[in-house]
Structure 1
Amino acid sequence: MTRDEFDAFCKSLPATTNVIQWGNASVWKVGGKIFAVCSSWGEGAHPKVSFKCSDISYSLLTQQEGLIPAPYLARAKWVQMEQENALSDKDLKAYVEAAHKIIAAKLTKKQQKDLGLAD
């Protein structure tokens, strides 16, 4: 998945915002809280995607080749896709969508309602 494809997918999720920070990282948030990051450093470098995941997914994914505990965020159960194509685009989208749901669920009920994420 290219960075543009990643950004388009994250933009399609409900109530998301995007900022470019930490150099040139595309940081995606819901309710002001980060759920996924895409960074690529240097010319021709493939994008490295990091995302929040459940405890079970974290345990499984960090044992898979090409995926590592995300630098600075591992203690919060974040994973980074170090190698291009370590996950299929379909699987990556599913994990990013799950990350969005995990973070959105941690927002207050008022925030969820204000963002149109709850009734």
Structure 2
Amino acid sequence: MTAETRLPTGTDLLAEIDRLRKERNAVILAHYYQKPEIQDLADFVGDSLQLSQMAAETDADVICFSGVKFMAETAKILSPDKIVVLPDMDAGCSLEDSCPPEKFKAFREAHPDHIAL
């Protein structure tokens, strides 16, 4: 299905998710920041690194990462042979948004003796 695809009226969304999960040998990973409804249908819930490690350990072929882009990228790095999908490419992260690259660069230049982790 593409983003534009609509399910037929009367389709049980949870049943369809479960069907696709089995058909594609997929797991759903949900970050702690996701809404409870998303966490409830996820196979794993955790922080970004923990979820990426779980992705690497599972025998699933497809990883559906309910988080932000860098989380899915980390999962792909740790699981290069798996398909990693991100349902919402525009999902935001308050932590990431609070530190835009230009501000971080200015901070590093103003504080060269500080260590950034």
More strand by share: 1
Structure 1 length normalisation: TM-score?
Answer: 0.23
Bigger RCO (CA 8 Å, 6+ sep):
1
Larger gyration radius, structure 1 or structure 2 = 2
Structure 2 length normalisation: TM-score?
Answer: 0.24
